[in-house]
Amino acid sequence: MTDTVPDQKHTDEVAAWWRQAVVYQIYPRSFADANGDGIGDLPGILSRVDYLAELGIDAVWLSPFYPSALADGGYDVDDYRDVDPRLGTLDDFDAMVEALHARSIRVIVDIVPNHTSNRHEWFQEALAAGRGSEARDRYIFREGTGPDGSQPPTDWVSVFGGPAWERVDDGQWYFHNFAVEQPDLNWDNEEVRADFLKTLRFWSDRGVDGFRIDVAHMLTKDLSDPLPSRAELALLPQDGSHPLIDRDDVHEIYAEWRQVFDSYDPPRTAVAEAWVSTPERRAKYASAEGLGQAFNFDLLVADFDAVEFRRIIADNLAQATLSGSSTTWVLSNHDVTRHATRYGLQPLNGRHVKQGTEWVAAGGPEEQLDREGGLRRARATTLLLLGLPGSTYVYQGEELGLHEVADITPAQRQDPAFFRGAEFDGLGRDGCRVPLPWTADGSSFGFGSGGAHLPQPAWFAQHAVDVLAGDPSSTLSLYRDALRLRHRLQTGESLEWLKTDRVDVLRFARPNGWQVVANFGAESFDLGADAEHVVLASTPVSGAALPGECTVWLAPDD
C-alpha cells in the first residue's frame, strides 16, 4: 500500500462547504409526522430524505427538537443534549444524520444559549435553592424595588410583550428577554460557559456539521447598578457597550467556541442570528475567529423593489469581504410572514411588507392577498437570490409556493408573541409553521395519519408535493432546476453589475460568465440576442421579451 499525501486543496474545499451552500430549514414539528400523533418528528424527516436529496440542497438546519414544553415553539429548551420524546430518540437522530450524510446533505442544529426553559433542571434548582445560592447565579435574579420589593427591578419589556422580569415565590425577580418560560442565563457564570462547550461537543461528536446560534448578540449583559430605565435603555448606543445588546464581550464566548469547532475535521461551522445595528458590527460575528458566518436579514424587511435589492446585495457582499466570510440570503424563516404573501399584499404606507394585524386592519388577508402576483414575485426574487454569491437559506414550504396561513383561530394558535400581543407581529408566527402538504388527498395532506397540530387550509392541496413534483412549471420544479444548475453557476464569490438602462431591472455576471437578469417592473425588458442563452426562468419567457416580475439565468456557450 502506498502512503497518500492528503490533498490540501481538497481538504480546504471540504472545510469551506458552507460558503455557497443552500441550507434548507426544517421546522421539525411541522415537516413530517411518522407516528401519527399530529406532531412532526425525526423519523418523519428520515422518511423524507430522498425528497431533500432530490431538491438538491447542501444542508439542513433543524430548528430545536430538544425536550420542551413548547412555550416558544421549542426555543424553550429543557435539556440541550437530548431529543424531545414526542419527536424521537437520540438513536433516531443518529439514523437521520446517517441517512442525510449518505446523500451528501450536511446537518446544522440550533443552539439556544441566551435562555433555558423554566423546566430546565438548572432553573428548577435555582427556584429551590433560594436567594444568594450558586444555583441562582446561573440566571439573572435580583431583588425588586419599592419598600417591599414588590415592584420589578426595572420597567423593561420583553421581546414578546409584557414585563421582562418575573417574581418567584420567595420575592426575588428573574430576567427574561423573551417569554416568561425562558429565563435568561448569566454568561458571567463559568459553569454556564463550560456546559455549552459540552453541548457543542456532544452534537459535533454525533456528526453534526454546524450550528445556528439563536439570538447570538444577547448573551452577555452588564447589569451593574444603577440600571437604566426602559426609556434610557432605548437611547443608549448599540456600539458594544450597551447593557443588553451586542456587547463586545460576547465575542470572548465565540472565540472559545471557535476552538471547539476547529478541533474537528472538517471544522464545525456556525451561523449567528444577530440583529445588530451596523454591517460592521455584524461582521464581528462572522469573523473566522468567531462564529464564522452571520445571518443577513435585510431582505426580510425589504420591499419588492430593484433599487432596494441592489443596495442590499451590494452592501452585504461588501460586508462579507470585510469579515472574510460569505454572506447569507434569506427571504423566509419560521419567524416571519412567508415571502409569497409579503409580496402579494397591496402596498400599505407605500410598502408591501406587512405584519399580521395590518392585514386584518386592511380588510382581511383573503380579500387583500394577490396570491398569483405574490408567488410570481417570490419566484423571481428566489431565482435572483440563488444566482448570487454566498449561501442561501430556504425555509420549508417555500419550495411549494406556500402562502402564509391566516385562517387560524385564537384557540388554535400557539405562538407566545400572539398571546402577549408583541408589537412586531400581531398575528404571531403560527401562519408559517403549519405542517407541510405532501399529498393532495389523505389525512393531513400526507403530513401524517393523525391530523396536524396547526390547521391546514383546503388550498394546501394545490401545493402538495405529489401535485407539484410532476409539473415542470411548478415552484417545486423551479427550485429543483435552480439548485441543479447552481452548481455550475457558483464558481466564484463575486459578481459584476451590468448596465440595463432601467432602474427596475437588475443584471449581473458571475466570474464564469453566467448572468442573472431580474425584472422587478411591470414592463417587459428586451433581452435581444441573449434570449438564446436563457437556461432558467421564474415564469415562462417567449422570444426576447423578459416579462415583468420575472428573473432569468443566462448560461454562456460551453
Count helices and strands in the chain by DSSP H and E runs: 18, 18
Query: Catalytic one among 84, 92, 166, 214?
Result: 214
Q: How far is the CB of 38 from Ca ion (least distance, A)?
A: 7
- CA-CA distance, 433 to 413, in Å (whole number)? 11
Nearer to ligand NOJ among residue 72 and residue 166 (C-beta): 72
- Of the candidates 78, 92, 209, 214, which one interacts with ligand NOJ according to CB under 6 A? 214
- CA-CA distance, 467 to 446, in Å (whole number)? 12
Residue 110 binding: pick among Ca ion, ligand NOJ, none (C-beta 5-8 Å cut-off by kind): none
Q: Is residue 273 annotated as part of the catalytic site, yes or no?
A: yes
Part of the chain binding ligand NOJ (CB under 6 A), chosen from 71-79, 187-195, 366-374, 535-543: 71-79
Part of the chain binding Ca ion (CB under 5 A), chosen from 39-47, 167-175, 243-251, 353-361: 39-47
Part of the chain binding ligand NOJ (CB under 6 A), chosen from 68-76, 101-109, 189-197, 356-364: 68-76
Q: For residue 139, give the 3-state DSSP assignment.
A: strand
Residue 39 binding: pick among ligand NOJ, Ca ion, none (C-beta 5-8 Å cut-off by kind): Ca ion
- CA-CA distance, 31 to 26, in Å (whole number)? 7
Q: Using a CB cutoff of 8 Å and minimum separation of 24, what contacts does 150-155 make? A: 153/227, 154/227, 154/228, 154/229, 154/230, 155/229, 155/230
| Degrees, nearest 5: CA angle 335-118-219 | 60
Does position 72 interact with ligand NOJ (CB under 6 A)? The reply is yes
Going by C-alpha positions, the residue among 477, 510, 212 that lies closest to residue 388 is: 510
Part of the chain binding ligand NOJ (CB under 6 A), chosen from 69-77, 82-90, 116-124, 401-409: 69-77
Residue 72 binding: pick among ligand NOJ, Ca ion, none (C-beta 5-8 Å cut-off by kind): ligand NOJ
Tell me, rounded to whole angstroms, the distance of Cα 535 from its chain centroid: 29
Does position 112 interact with ligand NOJ (CB under 6 A)? The reply is yes
Q: How far is the CB of 429 from ligand NOJ (least distance, A)?
A: 7
Does position 37 interact with Ca ion (CB under 5 A)? The reply is yes
Does position 178 interact with ligand NOJ (CB under 6 A)? The reply is yes
Query: Catalytic one among 184, 273, 415, 549?
Result: 273
| Degrees, nearest 5: CA angle 156-157-160 | 160
Which residue is it, cell 458566518?
293
- CA-CA distance, 121 to 134, in Å (whole number)? 14
Residue 75 binding: pick among Ca ion, ligand NOJ, none (C-beta 5-8 Å cut-off by kind): ligand NOJ
Q: Is residue 76 annotated as part of the catalytic site, yes or no?
A: no
- CA-CA distance, 76 to 192, in Å (whole number)? 16
Nearer to ligand NOJ among residue 33 and residue 76 (C-beta): 76
**What angle, rounded to 10 degrees, do the helices at 279-286 and 306-323 form?**
50
Does position 184 interact with ligand NOJ (CB under 6 A)? The reply is no
Contact footprint for ligand NOJ (CB under 6 A): 72-73, 75, 112, 178, 214-215, 273, 334-335
Please list the active-site residues: 214, 273
